[in-house]
Amino acid sequence: MVAKKQTEVRVRYAPSPTGYFHIGAARTTLFNLLFARQHQGTFILRIEDTDKERSKKEYEAEIIASMRWLGLDYDEGPLLPDQNGATTLLAKADKGDFGPYRQTDRLDLYETHLKKLLSEKKAYYCFCSQEELEAQRQSMTAQGMSAIYNGTCRSVPTNEAAARLAGGATAVIRIKVPSVKLAFKDLIRGDVEFDGALMGDLVIAKSLREPLYNFAVVIDDEAMKISHVIRGEEHIANTPKQMVIAEALNITLPLFAHLPLILNTDRSKMSKRDGERSVAVRDYRGAGYLPEAIINFLVLLGWHPEGDEEVFTFEQLVGKFDLPRVQKAGAVFNIEKLDWFNAYYIKKKSDSELLDLLVPDFIDPAWAGDSGKLLKVIALIKERLKKLSEFKSLAALFFTVPGYPKELLVWKKSTAAAALEIFTGIHTILEALPEVEFQKSRLEAAVMPLCEVKGRGDVLWPLRVAVSGSQASPGPFEIIDALGKTETLRRLEVAISKLK
């Protein structure tokens, strides 16, 4: 296969809108965009929606929304139709409202190329029924042969085919596949070779207005001047089919780079309809993962930088990423590693930035009115957050009086009577403290003298339980700082009531 000779790098992500944008698609998009940015090239989004039955507009919209949430936006596309219905191409340097390319807007182009192949007798109409094809398959399998189309309709004369079509016969369009070796050089895997004799004549369209994937993609890549196709390993089998189509149309294909599979922890292939876990990017967004964490995690699924560094901004990745360091072997999706990245990026956020991310999806609506208290709570539990979705459960103790057994208020070998005495003393101290002094340092200064008399454990343990309802929580003075005077005294009175 002859490589394209052009200086401009132009790459594309070309999804079928038949499902939600998934983790594997996100990695493919990321690698394409990084490659484009490295070479000051162009990244294109092309929606391959010729599958009318399965393609959905809501999936297309979700794909674009998820890409943009991750910061993986495309550079070029047609302007959305104006009031007269006209569209024009909008390059990335221009401004305006433009959408992705869609194959359903390009059917005239595909029809022209199909007619060309038919007129040159490089393609033909196949009238074989599904029953006939299945009988052929079984017969060839029984003889130990490859189950490929045997070329029955290759010899149907053009005028006879036209007459049968005019009479309402059903037919697909097949391209003639030569019995030759088909070889290409993959930028990741090196030399790859296929035997055309084992392929059979390929179906390239259901009709002149219904092209199939491998045919349309060759036409589009040529028309859009795509220089490199960076896609998943599962597409390797499509490459020889596209080579046959390109040769018949006298088209030079782009360079290919096939990314390794993403694997589950048991090293089975992760599917976009995987049962082990959700693989839709929108579900990770809904669980409270940050886009920068997902990007940092995804780039390491199959690519390794020089050295041991793992944390990168997108801008740093543009400088470091290179295709030769992409591995051939599958990459294991480790959710614990993703959680680690997410926790890291959560800690790097300021409290106010986290508040903006948490509201409204990750907090109880009843808490939304007290941003000052929320900021204090965020500061206290930020270090414990792996996902934004954990905030509500970790923060609940600051907004709702938790239930707990009275026995939890008693420290080790102390007694309920001793604990009651301590609570009475703490209540007196805090009641006398002005609201403005309900800050961690002032609270410590007010209560610690009692610890010196009664013992730290005897004072701080029951105080922590009373204000948090738990034996595992932030320190009592941090909690009281966030609760404020009125709520703290109320919780102390609940503890006193329990002990009485």
Class of domain 401-499: mainly alpha
First to last CA, the chain: 87
Please state, in angstroms and rounded to a whole number, the distance separating the CA atoms of residues 286 and 79.
31
Please state, in angstroms and rounded to a whole number, the distance separating the CA atoms of residues 332 and 311.
18
Domain covering 10-259: architecture? 3-Layer(aba) Sandwich (3.40)
**In the chain, where the domains are located:** 10-259, 281-396, 401-499
Read off the pTM. Answer: 0.89
Q: Are both 10-259 and 281-396 of the same fold? A: no
pLDDT at 80: 58
State which residues of the chain have pLDDT below 50. Answer: 1-3, 82-83, 85-95, 275-276
pLDDT at 83: 47
Pick 281-396's CATH classification: 3.20.20.70, 1.10.1160.10, 1.10.10.10, 3.30.565.10. 1.10.1160.10
Tokens 């609506």, located at residue: 365
Q: List, for residues 313-356, the tens digit of each pLDDT value.
A: 999 999 999 999 999 999 999 999 999 999 999 999 999 999 99
Among all residues, which ones are annotated catalytic? 272
pLDDT at 99: 83
- CB burial class (10 A; 0-12, 13-18, 19+) of residue 119? exposed
Mode of pairing for the β-strands spanning 331-332 and 262-263: parallel
Tokens 């040159």, located at residue: 120
User: Could you say which DSSP state residue 361 is in?
Assistant: T
Please state, in angstroms and rounded to a whole number, the distance separating the CA atoms of residues 494 and 492.
5
- Residue 281 φ/ψ, nearest 5 degrees: -60, -35
Q: Find the angle CA(67)-CA(72)-CA(76) to the nearest 5 degrees.
A: 100
**174: helix, coil or strand?**
strand
Per residue in 159-184, is it b (16+ CB within 10 Å) or e — as a string?
Answer: eebeeeeeeeeebbbbbebeeeebeb
Q: List, for residues 73-125, the tens digit of each pLDDT value.
A: 999 888 655 445 444 444 444 445 678 999 999 999 999 999 999 999 999 99
